Amino acid sequence: MDDQSVNVESRTSSQDKRWTIMAALLGTNTAFMLFQGIQQEADPQQIREIALAIIAAALPFQGIYFLIYTFMMEHDGQLSSERIERLNMASAVCQIVAYFSLLGVAMMWYNISLYVGLAFLLSTSLAIILIRSVMTPVNVKE
């Protein structure tokens, strides 16, 4: 492996966690788009249409997140602090938009069952708050 390639071992634990969460979310959203899109053609419903639109709007941001992540890994140590800050901000925006796609997933669960939909929405909200609070950088003063 040459010095210019991405070194998997150089990634930090929080970067790995974010990447894994985004990959799982992208897979979930893609599956929902596929299967619920087929179901929408067979049995059109307004709530499903809105939910699919929310998920579809989030998919490009999920792709951009992976592009930013890869770009930063490939250019580690070569970017100015200003560029890194801008890329981190763009990455955070992409993550937040991706999290909003869970609203579309919750709407589909709600369409299936009121209780399942509400339980999913509540647990998703709590999980997002938890993960964002845990993954924020900690400033330790020495």
Positive or negative torsion for Cα 111, 117, 120, 121: positive
| pLDDT tens digits for range 63-87 | 999 999 889 888 888 888 899 899 9
pLDDT digit string (tens) for 10-52? 455 666 777 888 888 899 899 989 999 899 899 999 999 999 9
Closest CA to 91 of 19, 26, 10, 16: 19
Residue 30 CB contacts under 8 Å (≥ 6 apart), including other chains: 59
Contacts of 83 (CB under 8 A, 6+ apart): none
Q: Say if residue 1's pLDDT is above 60.
A: no
Mean pLDDT of 82-98: 91
pTM exceeds 0.75: no
